[in-house]
Structure 1
């Protein structure tokens, strides 16, 4: 039988290397959470309108060119996402929805992909210790503030992406375009560099050439260097 002293020594060594938490931690999202703040009536109305009437959103492209743009962008990234989402139809629908919701909110789709990677690791049913839900780790208070009050709806793919993109756009507007601060506000760690840096690094992996499709306005230049 292993001695208690040996086990304590091993535990200390693992903890010192930062490994013990990784071995013992449950499979939950590691990101933080948005902080509930009072919203002006005009802002609440605008955000509610942006989210929709509570029913699962539908993809309504402006025209055939916009649809083709998102389809091309999705096709470019399908192989890269295959390990995380092995089912082709699920993967394609997810990518096209990310493109659509990003474009709808005026965001860079690669930025949204980077945020999803950091927030949930592309897990639809991810839940953080503080209750943030789904791909973009949306806090339940948002469903009460600007949605239909059903927190469970945040596990619906497009509803989650719609909320996440609308919320990130809102934070960008609040921070006057400063992406560093907006990402910190999204994560509940405003002013600290770790989370914005992780999202920025993850974003780079999902960027594609302009000819491949839906590259959104590059808000990344607003990140602190």
Structure 2
């Protein structure tokens, strides 16, 4: 019994470590949506403003960036690229009404921070976005392997699912992963969020703020 529990813990740890290689990458399902919803989502993914850390206090801003950079260093050794990624994650998550640490955890589980990750279902990039979203809410030529584009789509989609589920993060994560109603994927993201990306001034709870497009 003890060996079985150890094996289960190993499988969960490997899933978090190796991301999409473990079969937990996103497989969002196409669902018909109202024209107004599509228009709002299109507006959200079309925003190309320069990313910045949306933390008012400059000392706190630097503390967050340095702390997250240290946590990410083993996965992304290039400091300049690491800072660019973290700044972009914070900006896109915040503008979508999401906790940036939640998004970092989701990226860890989905792709293990591999920019060119591709799942068996065809999901792409850091946040493992399914290509059909480009046709549904994007523009021709949108490249899901592009850093900002991938993060913008991923955060917009997760915000959309949170709105559908009225703030229920468990169900929203299930939709994002294509495993609605199953506990394994939401629990993996929650575990990574609390273990690897928690920040003292952030509450580990589902974000409920409305997206800028609403």
| TM-score band w.r.t. shorter chain | 0.7 to 0.9
Query: What is residue 4 of structure 1 aligned with on the other side?
Result: none
Conserved 8 A contact 1:109-1:216: no
Preserved contact between residue 104 and residue 197 of structure 2 (Cα < 8 Å): yes
Q: How does 1:34-113 map to 2 (within 5 A)?
A: 34-52=28-46, 57-59=48-50, 61=52, 65=56, 70-113=61-104
- Residues 68 and 48 from structure 1, CA distance in 2 versus in 1: closer, same or farther, beyond 3 angstroms? farther
Matches within 5 A, 1:175-186: 175-186=165-176
- Determine helix, strand or coil for the equivalent of 1:65: coil
Cα RMSD (Å) of the superposition? 2.8
The equivalent of 2:181 in structure 1 is 191
* Structure 1 unaligned spans of 5+: 1-16
| Paired position in structure 2 for 1:33 | 27
Distance in structure 2 (CA, Å) of the matches to 1:199 and 1:62: 23
Q: How does 1:199-214 map to 2 (within 5 A)?
A: 199-204=189-194, 205-210=196-201
* 1:218 CA displacement: 3.0
Q: In 2, are the aligned partners of 1:73 and 1:99 still within 8 Å (CA)? A: no
Residues 61 and 90 of structure 1, relative CA distance in 2, 3 Å threshold? closer
Q: Answer whether contact 1:29 1:127 (CA < 8 A) is retained.
A: no
Distance 1:72 1:97, change over 3 A: farther
Q: Could you list the runs of 5+ residues in structure 2 that have no partner in the other structure?
A: 1-9, 209-214
Q: Does 1:165 align with 2:155?
A: yes
TM-score (norm 2): 0.80
**Could you tell me how far apart the structure 2 residues matched to 1:58 and 1:66 are?**
21
Matching of residue 148 in structure 1 with residue 139 in structure 2? yes
How many residue pairs were aligned? Answer: 191
Is contact 1:70–1:100 with CA below 8 Å preserved after alignment?
Answer: no
- TM-score w.r.t. the length of structure 1 is 0.77
CA contact (8 A) 1:119 1:137 kept: yes
How much has 1:70 moved relative to structure 2?
Answer: 4.8
1:219 maps to what in 2? 206
Q: How many angstroms does 1:148 deviate by?
A: 1.0
| Pair member with larger Rg | 1
Contact 2:52 2:87 in 1 (8 A): no
Cα separation, 2, equivalents of 1:159 and 1:146: 12
